[in-house]
């Protein structure tokens, strides 16, 4: 049977070949030179070839096949009818004539030249060389106006995104849209599945996302299949190390300084002979390690007019640079489309992800490593953990790692199905239903152990947590697209609704019958000790929206975009449930005008302007009504029965309303030297009114703060992107830079508030930031140091803060009233918001080699080194304490040494450090095998590369990393010492295409 | 055909219109103030929550001990030198407005005030409930509010006096201490008028505030205010109620068996359940550090306290746990901890082995004993010239301490007002040692400066009688709060 079939097939093929097969050949050139490796495809078939070293090709064509498609990276794809020609020479046009570039925008796509909004696009090629599982981290330094902050080096950690400064004081994350599915995070995405990322910055671009557009929108499009069937295999492996460590005292220095502190504070010095301790333990060396990182990916893709598919599987594994931490992730993706009828197209995008983390308590470990005395050994000769509680009152960080077994798994499915029908001339209808489902489970086990009285566990215990969250989105849109002579109109109207809900189920027991992971189930614990809980988690909210947009263009010269969205959000009370968010954008393609001299240096010029309003509803649910907390129990009676109690623990605000951002943007797009040099620049002004924030309130109120509409904030700035690209036969190169300047200012505070304090330093309720009207949001707020009191006379000569002694810090009397008071003498000491964020990148391709680099940096931001201020024991000191005052004239900057007290606990310029840095984010060198060799290996292409991430950093900051951000602006830049440091990585990779 | 699709599209669009029910959400799994305070049970729960605050870390544990015992001449910080360093600053009078201790109790006691205010504002609105119960619950809430304010006013002086749960604005200036005291007295008085006596409560309610407790508190407040006649009257009322008496065995007061005993006027209820959630860390922070490992070893009895005991006074042994001593339950001997020099512990805070680890302490926190009340009565009566009656009460306390050993602690006989006053003050110190009364006694009697300076402490008169208002609170009040002098 198979034999027969084979015979039949061969016969058919042969007869067809004999009858009409013919071949077409020619040369492909671009920029005046032959192009090598241009893909030539017979349209409608899977057959194709590539051009050789002289740009020549020859391809066999069957009858009925009427056109060829020529495509080449960086050039516009061309389709040419074959007709009767047997020789077809093609001149390729560079795609950097961005006029034709298509950009994915909200609810549609537009030609770059038609855009009136500020949208930046990053394509996949720019992202893949950075070894990370996080798309966010791969985007750092790529886009002007987009600040990426690698929150931590925790394996598997995602990055924080900030578009055009910090518009809100609240959650300022942008909105994420992946293949049309609206999400709050993209941590599940495999960067290698991504085709392009659009960063929507101004209101003209984001207003169509209404209530969620104020912080910008990131639209991610994943790869779809096209052309001949293709297999890609790629892999890399590498090693990571901590970028820098903190300079701390060695054992001898430590004992010397503690002795001195003892004397200064009226005690007997506690260490007889400091030298006896030598250098002692470097705790940072103990907790950090060189850790491997690996990634393997296999992909299959292909497609034609009727259907397309792209299927990929990926495995990523990363051990953390802190001993004991680990992350791995399996990702699969299936994207398909199919034209069922000539008027109906259907498709789906689906990603399934399983990730597993071995978690460590990085905050505790890092703080202990920072604080632990260097005299104590990590482990004694018997293998017991050193008791660091005795000298310094800290835990032993190695014991924390050892006696913690915390593992979590994240199962996630994100996908959508859609159908699109052509209804009328230019009119189509699209419906799309998407689902994001997360199932998370974690278990944390602690065995019985005792290192010291405050680092021990008397009974083994196990805690488990299961949560799920589901989020569905149903979107229905009518699209219209028509040209009338020189007028072109397209538009979209739609209705969408979205619903998010989740729940957790947790339990715990102690006294497990075994300490092996096979016993890590609640049933292994003592039922008498059982605790459990369940409740809503991960957000209980819904949105209903009505959206619309019209684009009008006249003769490709004059452009107008009007868009708007009405959003209803369940997070607001009845009276403020709906908000309306409009925008308008104008564009003028000056270089399309008749008067434009096409031969000039300036090959392209476009001017843009936009205005619009967007909102932010990212606040907790039910914030408009006060919840009653139960479980506030008490004991009564001779049998000591636990009786239920319930009370309110947080205030509520029935008057919550939308936070509203009004943004104006002016942009220019410039092409010079035949568009080899491209410049895009935007200036913008963003005013956010009614900023929603859970501002701290005094403790004497007795309950937690509620969300309030608290302030108006202004962000204004400049985004600029510059690219020079030169392609040639021998070599191609590009150089690019992007620059974002931003100024943030609090315009006013609501009600009678004069000061807006926040940013707890963890020291007796002390707050580190103040966001007064006129200040940058989250300005550091404290005393300026004038010097150190050198002697008793100076103590009478200058005002003091409370009781002070010689050797203490001399605070500046700002208002000159002769006394130092918190009310009158604290000033702005800096802020975490950088003045400028810079990205610099370049690439060079020559003779099969490619070299690329990326620098990223930020300037003009400061850090509060708060970990240095929080001393609740005889902790180790940073080496800066060695320069202490020890008598008149010894130091006028560093005070006398003390264990704690005012010199240390009080926020002053002493603890403010410059947070500027510049970092070689990525450097990679690759080699692509020549076509001739690759084809002999039956490969379409083969590239080998080596790349390094974070290889070089220049920073003033003494801590691990000056990028300190936990998501809230007035809590930003406060280094409390618990942030998992970032790593530098070197890796080797291989990309194959079959 | 296309028309049909168009129709379908429009139908779908309209269908989505009706999807607005995704906007209708109600809080899941919790009551809100809109549907709470509807039943008798909920009314009880709202008051239970005020008691809950008494047991918490912020209220009666670490900082509390620091700001009552450690700051006084009764004890030192204890533990390793660098452990809990902010309490060392308190001990040495080096604490600033950023010290952890004052900001912790400040927040903890005001949380209690809020819970009381919430109950007081809403209990009258509960639609249907037993009116006697309603009145009692209101009285309990007022008792607890007064209790929280009484501690705050003694630590901080003038403080924001907030009597409603949701004040219209958050910038609330300090109220003069005298006014705060007036409110405290009014609340305790209102509680005394309504609350049942200890014996009149159902057994299951043992531990709730009583009439006797309210009167005793009024006596303590009056003594603090130096209103001696009132103090004497309130104390006498409690004594004459015959609800209370001295236990035969002094140390029995501090054992689990002595909880809520005849001598107990008011105490914070705690117990060690297997699942936790009912204990306190009061015992743990003062527990033996080392072998056996019972806790953190804070609140080390001072040499000065040891010297204060008269020769042979058995209360010294009952108060202080030494290295080499057998634990009160006989379970082990306290071993020397090589890392602490001269360690000794507060024996009154000792609890026997219990489930859930040291942090799940079952010991009730004794806030008011009958012996304390007798000494308040004695002090007040002496000041108003009734020394004979004063001597009776003082000697009752001494007699109990003496037990059957007639060679120690002879009766005090002096009727000289100053001598008797000193004798009563001395008796208070040794009888109530390490029961968190000493600091308030020193301040209220104006002796804090003399006593602390005599120990070589850096005590600044006019400053250190009060703790600093936490700087964060001054900031968040938009400057409505002012700082205490000297900080």
pLDDT in tens, A3-12: 555 555 555 4
Q: Are A987 and A293 in contact (CB under 8 A)?
A: yes
Question: Can you give the pLDDT at residue A768?
Answer: 92
Q: So what's the pLDDT on residue B26?
A: 84
Overall domain count for chain A: 4
Q: Provide the pLDDT for residue A170.
A: 66
Q: Which of B22, B27, B358 sits opposite A499 (nearest CB)?
A: B22
Report CB contact under 8 Å: A478, B22. no
Torsion sign over Cα B40, B46, B50, B53: positive
- Classify residue A262: in a domain, yes or no: yes
Distance from CA of A572 to the nearest CA of B (A): 9
- In A453-557, where do the E strands start and end? 455-457, 461-484, 487-510, 531-536, 541-554
**Cα–Cα distances in Å, from A606 out to A346, A562, A773, B88, B450?**
37, 18, 37, 68, 82
What angle in degrees, to the nearest 10, is found between the helix axes of B177-194 and B131-156? Answer: 150
A269 and A388 assigned to the same domain: yes
Q: Which residue of B has its CA nearest to A526?
A: B274
The rounded distance, in Å, linking the Cα atoms of A138 and A739 is 18
Say yes or no: A117 and A72 in one domain.
no
**What pLDDT, in 10s, does the model give residues B347-358?**
999 999 998 888
Q: How confident is the model at residue A658 (pLDDT cuts 50, 70, 90)?
A: confident
The alpha helices in B22-98, defined as continuous H runs, are 40-54, 57-60, 62-65, 85-91
Query: Min CA distance, B126 vs chain A (Å)?
Result: 15
Nearest to A568 among B20, B80, B206 (CB): B20
What long-range pairs does A937-940 form, CB within 8 A, spacing at least 24?
Answer: A938/A994, A939/A992, A939/A993, A939/A994, A940/A50, A940/A230, A940/A993, A940/A994
Domain final residue pick, A92, A108, A135: A92
Q: Do A272 and A398 sit in the same domain of this protein?
A: yes
CA distance A764 to B106: 11
Give the confidence band of A709 by pLDDT, cuts at 50, 70, 90.
Answer: confident
- Same domain for A250 and A399, yes or no, is yes
Which residues, at least 6 apart from A586, have a Cβ–Cβ distance to it below 8 Å? A116, A559, A560, A561, A608, A609, A610
Query: Do A136 and A196 share a domain, yes or no?
Result: yes
Nearest beta carbon to residue A635 from set B278, B470, B486? B278
Under an 8 A CB cutoff, do A766 and B472 touch?
yes
User: Could you give the percent of chain A with pLDDT greater than 90?
Assistant: 54
Inter-chain CB proximity A529 and B27 less than 8 Å: no
Task: Say whether A763 and B100 touch across the interface (CB within 8 A).
Answer: yes
| Strands of A637-698, DSSP E | 641-643, 646-648, 659-672, 677-693
The answer to whether residue A910 sits within a structural domain is: no
**Entry field: residues in chain A:** 994
How many residue pairs bridge chain A and chain B with CB atoms within 8 Å of each other?
336
Angstroms from A846 CA to nearest CA on chain B: 54
Q: Residue A20's pLDDT is what?
A: 61
**CB contacts, 8 Å: A496 with chain B:** 16
Query: Cα–Cα distance between B340 and B300 in angstroms, integer?
Result: 11
What is the pLDDT of chain A when averaged over all its residues? 88
Which of A431, A528, A765 is closest, CB to CB, to B103? Answer: A765
Asked whether residue A633 is domain-assigned, the answer is no
- pLDDT over 70 at A14, yes or no: no
pTM of the model: 0.82
Give the pLDDT confidence score for residue B2 in this predicted structure: 63
Question: Per residue in A829-860, pLDDT tens?
Answer: 999 999 999 999 898 989 889 999 989 999 99
Report the relative pairing of strands A90-92 and A22-30 from DSSP bridges.
parallel
**Mean pLDDT over residues A864-870, rounded?**
94
Out of B22, B42, B110, the one facing A646 most closely (by C-beta) is: B42
CB A49 within 8 A of CB A59: yes
* Domain assignment of residue A163, yes or no: yes
Chain B: closest CA distance from residue A524 (Å): 15
A-chain residues near B106 (CB < 8 A): 699-700
Q: Do B260 and A621 touch (CB under 8 A)?
A: no
Mean of pLDDT values over B401-409: 94
pLDDT of residue A139: 83
Distance from CA of A655 to the nearest CA of B (A): 13
DSSP, collapsed to helix, strand or coil, labels residue A227 as strand
Split at pLDDT 50, 70, 90, the class of B15 is low
Q: Cis ω on the peptide bond leading into residue A933 (within 30° of 0)?
A: no
Q: Are A896 and A886 in contact (CB under 8 A)?
A: yes
Task: Answer yes or no: are the C-beta atoms of A287 and A399 closer than 8 Å.
Answer: no
In this prediction, residues A637-654 reach a mean pLDDT of 91
The CATH number for A169's domain is 2.170.130.10
Do A179 and A138 reside in the same domain of the chain? yes
Instruction: Look at residues A77, A92, A107 and tell me which one is the last residue of a structural domain.
Output: A92
Separation in Å, CA of A256 to nearest CA in chain B: 16
pLDDT at A31 over 90: no
Cβ distance B206 to A638 less than 8 Å, yes or no, reads yes
Q: Are residues A117 and A88 in the same domain?
A: no
Cβ within 8 Å, pair A459-B357: yes
Which residues of B are less than 8 Å from A623 in CB distance? none
Nearest CA in chain B to A903: B96
Chain B interface disruption, residue of A765, A773, A800, most B CBs within 10 A: A765
Residue B324 confidence (pLDDT): 94
d(CA A247, CA B435): 45
Partner-chain contact A648 B33, CB within 8 Å? yes
Q: How confident is the model at residue A152 (pLDDT cuts 50, 70, 90)?
A: confident
Q: Helix, strand or coil for residue A328?
A: strand
Chain B: residue whose CA lies nearest to A477: B13
Cβ(A684)–Cβ(A118) under 8 Å? yes
Q: Dump the DSSP string for B442-472.
A: HHHTT-HHHHHHHTT----TTTTTSPPPPHH
Distance from CA of B357 to the nearest CA of A (A): 6
Helix B211-224 to helix B370-383 angle, to the nearest 10 degrees? 40
- Of how many residues is chain B composed? 487
What's the rounded mean pLDDT across residues A184-193?
87
Quote the CA–CA distance of A95 and A723 in Å, as a whole number. 14
Q: Mean pLDDT for chain B? A: 94
Residue A128 in any domain: the answer is: yes
Closest CA to A156 of A9, A358, A310: A358
Mean pLDDT for A415-432 is 90
Contact A625 B32 (CB under 8 A): yes
Average pLDDT over residues A46-72: 81
CA separation for the pair A688, B211 (Å, rounded): 56
H or E stretch at B102:
helix B100-122
Model pLDDT, residue A134: 81
Q: What is the mean pLDDT of residues B134-140?
A: 98
A76 and A108 together in one domain: no
Q: Is the sign of the CA dihedral A696, A701, A702, A708 positive or negative?
A: negative
What percent of the residues of chain B are helix, what percent strand, and what percent coil, each to the nearest 5?
55, 5, 40
| Res A944: pLDDT | 93
Tell me the average pLDDT across B452-478: 93
Contact (CB<8Å) B46/A645: yes
Distance from CA of A648 to the nearest CA of B (A): 7
User: Of B20, B270, B339, which has the smallest distance from its Cβ to A544's Cβ?
Assistant: B20
Cross-chain Cβ contact B110/A899 below 8 Å: no
Q: Which of A763, A764, A781 is nearest to A772 (CA)?
A: A781
Angle at A610 between CA A605 and CA A612, to 5 degrees: 165
B11: DSSP letter = H
Asked if the Cβ–Cβ distance from B478 to A752 is below 8 Å, we say yes
**From B25, B81, B260, residue closest to A874, measured CB to CB:** B81
* Mean pLDDT calculated for residue range A441-459: 90
Q: Residue B218's Cα: distance from chain center in Å?
A: 15
Which of B148, B475, B477, B484 best probes binding to A when mutated, by most A CB atoms within 10 angstroms? B475
Nearest to A636 among B208, B289, B476 (CB): B208
Domain ranges of chain B: 37-195+469-487
Chain-chain contact of A634 with B48 (C-beta, under 8 angstroms): yes
Same-domain status, A71 and A112: no
Answer yes or no: are the C-beta atoms of A614 and A213 closer than 8 Å. yes
Chain A contact probe: residue of B471, B477, B483, B484 with most A CBs at under 10 A: B471
Based on C-alpha coordinates, what's the Rg of chain B? Answer: 26
The candidate with the shortest Cα–Cα distance to A304, out of A363, A224, A387, A419, is A224
* Confidence (pLDDT) at B327: 94
Q: Across the interface, do A634 and B110 touch by the CB < 8 Å criterion?
A: no
- Supply the range of the domain harboring residue A57: 17-92
Kind plus residue range of the DSSP H or E element containing B14: helix B2-17
Out of A366-370, A800-804, A866-870, B320-324, pick the least confident: A800-804
What is the reported pLDDT for A18?
46
- Identify whether residues A172 and A266 lie together within a single domain: no
Cα–Cα distance, A493 to A495 (Å, whole number): 7
d(Cα A889, Cα A891) in Å, to the nearest integer? 6
Q: What is the pLDDT of residues A911-925, one digit of tens each?
A: 999 999 999 988 989
Q: What is the CATH number of the domain that holds A51?
A: 2.60.40.10
Contact B224, B269 (CB under 8 A): no
The pLDDT value given to residue A501 = 94
Q: What region does A164 belong to: left with phi over 0, alpha with psi -120 to 50, or beta?
A: left
Q: Answer whether residue A791 is part of any domain.
A: yes
Nearest CA in chain A to B291: A453
- Picking from B452, B431, B450, B448, the residue whose alpha carbon sits closest to that of residue B440 is B448
Helices B387-402 and B417-431: crossing angle, nearest 10°? Answer: 30
Establish how many alpha carbons lie within 13 A of residue A246's alpha carbon, considering only the half-sphere containing its beta carbon.
30
Across residues B263-291, what is the average pLDDT?
Answer: 93
Residues of A in contact with B355 (CB under 8 A): 529
Give ∠ CA A44-A46-A50 in degrees, rounded to 5.
110
Greatest pairwise CA separation for chain A in angstroms: 111
Predicted local confidence at residue A13, as pLDDT: 47
Sign of CA dihedral A445, A448, A451, A456: positive
C-beta atoms of B115 and A640 within 8 A: no
Domain match, A33 and A137 both: no
Max avg pLDDT among A173-187, A499-513, A696-710: A499-513
Backbone conformation region of residue B225, classed left if phi is above 0, alpha if psi is from -120 to 50, else beta: alpha
**Strand, helix or coil for residue B321:** strand
Secondary structure of residue A150 in the 3-state scheme = coil
Straight-line distance from the first to the last Cα atom of chain A, in angstroms, rounded to the nearest whole number:
31
* Cβ burial A28-48 (10 Å sphere, 16+ → b, else e): bbbbeebbbbbbbbbbeeeeb
Is the pLDDT reported for residue A99 higher than 60?
no
Q: Which fold has domain B37-195+469-487?
A: 1.25.40
Cβ neighbours of A642 in B, within 8 Å: 271, 273, 277-278
Inspect the interface and report whether the beta carbons of B27 and A627 lie closer than 8 Å: yes
Determine which of A456, A651, A759, A764 to mutate to test the interface with B (most B C-beta atoms within 10 Å): A764
Write the CB contacts of A626 (distance below 8 Å, at least 6 apart in sequence). Answer: A648, A650, A651, A652, A706, B32, B33
3-state SS class at A955: strand
> Long-range CB contacts (< 8 A, 24+ apart) of B455-464?
B455/B73, B455/B304, B457/B92, B457/B93, B458/A803, B458/B92, B458/B93, B458/B94, B459/B93, B460/A803, B460/B93, B460/B486, B462/B486, B463/B487, B464/B93
- φ, ψ of residue B230 to 5 degrees: the values are -60, -45
- B20 to A628: CB separation less than 8 angstroms, yes or no: no
Distance CA A493, CA A548 (A): 4
- Write the CB contacts of A11 (distance below 8 Å, at least 6 apart in sequence): none
């Amino acid at each position: 049977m198979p034999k027969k079939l084979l015979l039949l097939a061969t016969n058919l093929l042969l007869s067809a070949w004999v009858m009409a097969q013919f071949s077409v050949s020619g040369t492909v050139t671009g920029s005046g030179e032959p192009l090598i490796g241009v893909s030539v495809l017979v349209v409608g078939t899977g057959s194709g070839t590539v051009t050789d070293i002289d740009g020549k090709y020859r391809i066999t064509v069957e009858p009925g096949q009427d056109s060829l498609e020529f495509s080449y990276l960086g050039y516009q794809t061309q389709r040419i009818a074959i007709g009767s020609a047997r020789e077809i020479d093609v001149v390729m046009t560079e795609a950097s004539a961005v006029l034709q570039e298509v950009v994915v925008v909200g609810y549609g796509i537009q030609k770059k030249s038609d855009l009136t909004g500020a949208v930046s696009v990053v394509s996949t090629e720019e992202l893949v060389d950075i070894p990370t599982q996080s798309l966010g981290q791969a985007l750092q330094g790529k886009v002007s106006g987009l600040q990426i902050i690698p929150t931590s080096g925790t394996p598997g950690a995602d990055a924080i995104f900030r578009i055009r400064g910090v518009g809100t004081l609240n959650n300022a994350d942008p909105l994420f849209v992946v293949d049309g599915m609206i999400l709050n995070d993209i941590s599940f995405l495999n960067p290698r599945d991504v085709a392009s990322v659009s960063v929507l910055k101004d209101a003209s671009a984001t207003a169509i996302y209404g209530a969620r557009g104020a912080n910008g929108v990131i639209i991610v499009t994943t790869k779809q299949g096209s052309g001949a069937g293709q297999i890609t295999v790629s892999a890399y492996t590498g090693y990571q190390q901590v970028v820098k460590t903190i300079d701390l005292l060695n054992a001898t220095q430590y004992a010397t300084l503690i002795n001195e502190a003892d004397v200064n504070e009226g005690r007997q010095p506690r260490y007889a002979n400091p030298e006896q301790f030598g250098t002692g333990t470097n705790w940072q060396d103990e907790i950090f390690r060189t850790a491997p990182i690996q990634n393997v990916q296999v992909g299959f893709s292909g497609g034609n007019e009727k259907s397309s598919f792209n299927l990929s599987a990926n495995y990523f594994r990363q051990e953390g640079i802190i001993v004991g931490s680990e992350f791995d992730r399996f990702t699969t993706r299936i994207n398909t489309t199919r034209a069922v009828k000539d008027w109906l197209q259907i498709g789906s995008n689906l990603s399934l992800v399983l990730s597993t983390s071995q978690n460590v308590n990085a905050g505790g470990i890092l703080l202990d490593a920072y604080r632990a005395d260097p005299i104590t050994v990590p482990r004694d000769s018997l293998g017991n953990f050193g008791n660091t509680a005795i000298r310094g009152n800290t835990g032993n960080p190695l014991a924390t790692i050892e006696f913690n077994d915390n593992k979590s798994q994240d199962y996630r499915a994100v996908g959508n199905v859609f159908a699109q029908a052509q209804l009328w001339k230019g009119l189509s209808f699209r419906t799309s239903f998407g689902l994001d489902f997360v199932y998370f489970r974690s278990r944390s086990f602690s065995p019985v152990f005792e290192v010291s009285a405050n680092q021990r566990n008397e009974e083994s215990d196990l805690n488990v947590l299961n949560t799920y969250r589901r989020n569905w989105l149903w979107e229905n849109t009518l699209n219209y697209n028509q040209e009338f002579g020189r007028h072109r109109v397209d538009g979209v109207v739609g209705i969408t609704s979205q619903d998010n809900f989740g729940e957790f189920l947790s339990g715990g027991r102690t006294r497990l019958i075994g300490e092996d992971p096979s016993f890590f189930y609640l049933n292994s614990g003592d039922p008498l000790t059982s605790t459990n809980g369940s409740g809503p988690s991960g957000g209980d909210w819904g949105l209903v929206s009505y959206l619309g947009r019209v684009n009008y263009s006249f003769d490709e010269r004059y452009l107008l975009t009007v868009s708007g969205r009405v959003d209803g959000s369940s997070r607001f009370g009845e009276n403020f449930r709906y908000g309306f968010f409009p925008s308008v954008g104008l564009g003028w393609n000056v270089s399309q005008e008749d008067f434009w001299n096409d031969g000039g240096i300036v090959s392209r010029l476009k001017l843009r302007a936009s205005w619009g309003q967007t909102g932010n509803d990212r606040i907790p649910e039910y914030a408009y009504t006060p919840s009653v907390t139960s479980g506030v129990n008490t004991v009564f009676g001779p049998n000591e029965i636990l009786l239920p109690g319930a009370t309110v623990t947080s205030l509520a605000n029935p008057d919550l309303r939308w936070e509203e951002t009004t943004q104006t943007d002016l942009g220019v797009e410039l092409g010079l030297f035949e568009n080899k040099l491209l410049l895009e620049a935007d200036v913008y002004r963003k005013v956010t009114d009614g900023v929603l924030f859970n501002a701290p309130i005094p403790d004497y109120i007795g309950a937690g703060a509620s969300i309030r509409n608290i302030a108006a904030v202004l962000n204004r700035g400049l985004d600029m992107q510059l690219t020079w690209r030169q392609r040639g036969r021998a070599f191609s190169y590009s150089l690019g830079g992007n620059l974002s300047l931003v100024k943030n200012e609090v315009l006013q505070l609501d009600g009678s508030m004069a000061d807006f304090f926040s940013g707890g330093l963890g020291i007796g309720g002390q707050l580190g930031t103040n966001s007064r009207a006129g200040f940058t949001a989250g300005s550091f707020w404290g005393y300026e140091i004038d010097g150190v009191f050198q002697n008793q006379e100076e103590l009478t000569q200058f005002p003091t803060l409370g009781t002070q002694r010689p050797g203490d810090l001399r605070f500046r009397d700002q208002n000159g009233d002769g006394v130092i008071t918190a009310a009158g003498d604290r000033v702005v000491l800096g802020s975490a918001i950088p003045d400028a964020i810079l990205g610099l990148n370049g690439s060079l391709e020559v003779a099969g080699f490619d070299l690329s680099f990326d620098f990223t940096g930020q300037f003009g931001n400061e850090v509060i080194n708060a970990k240095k201020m929080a001393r609740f024991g005889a902790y180790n000191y940073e080496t800066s304490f060695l320069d202490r005052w020890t008598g008149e004239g010894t130091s006028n900057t560093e005070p006398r040494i003390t264990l704690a007290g005012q010199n240390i606990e009080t926020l002053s310029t002493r603890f403010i450090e410059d947070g500027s840095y510049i970092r070689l984010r990525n450097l990679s060198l690759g080699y692509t095998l020549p076509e001739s060799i690759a084809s002999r290996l039956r490969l379409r292409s083969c590239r080998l590369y080596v790349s390094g991430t974070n290889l070089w950093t220049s920073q003033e900051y003494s801590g691990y990393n000056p990028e300190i951000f936990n998501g809230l602006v007035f809590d930003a830049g406060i280094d409390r010492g618990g942030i998992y440091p970032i790593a530098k990585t070197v890796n080797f990779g291989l990309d194959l295409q079959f | 055909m296309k028309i049909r699709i168009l129709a379908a599209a429009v139908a779908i669009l309209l269908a989505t219109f009706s999807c607005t029910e995704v906007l209708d959400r109600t809080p899941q799994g919790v009551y809100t103030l809109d549907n709470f305070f509807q039943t008798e049970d909920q009314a009880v729960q709202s008051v239970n929550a005020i008691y809950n605050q008494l047991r918490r870390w912020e209220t009666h544990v670490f900082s509390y001990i620091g700001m009552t015992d450690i700051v006084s001449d009764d004890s030192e910080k204890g533990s390793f030198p660098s452990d809990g360093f902010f309490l060392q600053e308190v001990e040495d009078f080096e604490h600033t407005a950023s010290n952890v201790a004052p900001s912790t109790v400040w927040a903890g006691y005001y949380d209690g005030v809020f819970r009381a205010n919430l109950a007081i504002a809403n209990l009258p609105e509960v639609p249907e409930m037993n009116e006697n119960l309603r009145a009692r619950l209101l009285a309990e809430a007022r008792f607890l509010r007064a209790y929280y304010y009484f501690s705050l006013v003694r630590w901080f002086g003038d403080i924001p006096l907030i009597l409603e749960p949701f004040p219209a604005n958050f910038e609330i200036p300090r109220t003069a201490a005298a006014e705060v005291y007036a409110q405290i007295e009014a609340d305790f008085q209102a509680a005394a008028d309504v609350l049942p006596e200890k014996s009149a409560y159902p057994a299951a309610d043992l531990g709730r505030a009583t009439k006797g407790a309210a009167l005793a508190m009024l006596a303590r407040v009056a003594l603090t205010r130096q209103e001696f006649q009132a103090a004497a009257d309130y104390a006498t009322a409690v004594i004459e109620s015959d609800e209370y008496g001295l236990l035969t065995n002094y140390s029995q007061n501090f054992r689990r068996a002595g909880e809520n005993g005849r001598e107990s006027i008011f105490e914070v209820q705690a117990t060690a359940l297997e699942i936790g959630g009912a204990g306190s860390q009061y015992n743990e922070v003062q527990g033996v550090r080392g072998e056996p490992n019972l806790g953190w070893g804070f609140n080390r009895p001072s040499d000065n306290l040891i010297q204060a005991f008269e020769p042979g006074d058995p209360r010294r042994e009952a108060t202080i746990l030494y290295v080499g001593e057998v634990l009160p339950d006989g379970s082990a001997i306290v071993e020397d901890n090589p890392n602490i020099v001269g360690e000794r512990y507060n024996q009154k805070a000792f609890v026997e082995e219990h489930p859930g680890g040291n942090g799940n302490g079952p010991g009730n926190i004794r806030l008011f004993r009958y012996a304390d009340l007798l000494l308040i009565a004695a002090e007040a009566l002496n000041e108003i010239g009734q020394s004979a009656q004063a001597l009776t009460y003082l000697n009752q306390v001494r007699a109990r301490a003496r037990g059957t050993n007639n060679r120690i602690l002879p009766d005090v006989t002096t009727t000289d007002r100053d001598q008797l006053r000193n004798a009563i003050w001395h008796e208070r110190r040794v009888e109530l040692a390490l029961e968190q009364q000493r600091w308030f006694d020193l301040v209220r009697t104006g002796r804090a400066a003399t006593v602390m300076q005599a120990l070589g402490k850096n005590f600044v008169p006019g400053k250190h009688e009060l703790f600093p208002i936490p700087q964060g609170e001054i900031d968040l009040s938009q400057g409505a709060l002012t700082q205490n002098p000297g900080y």
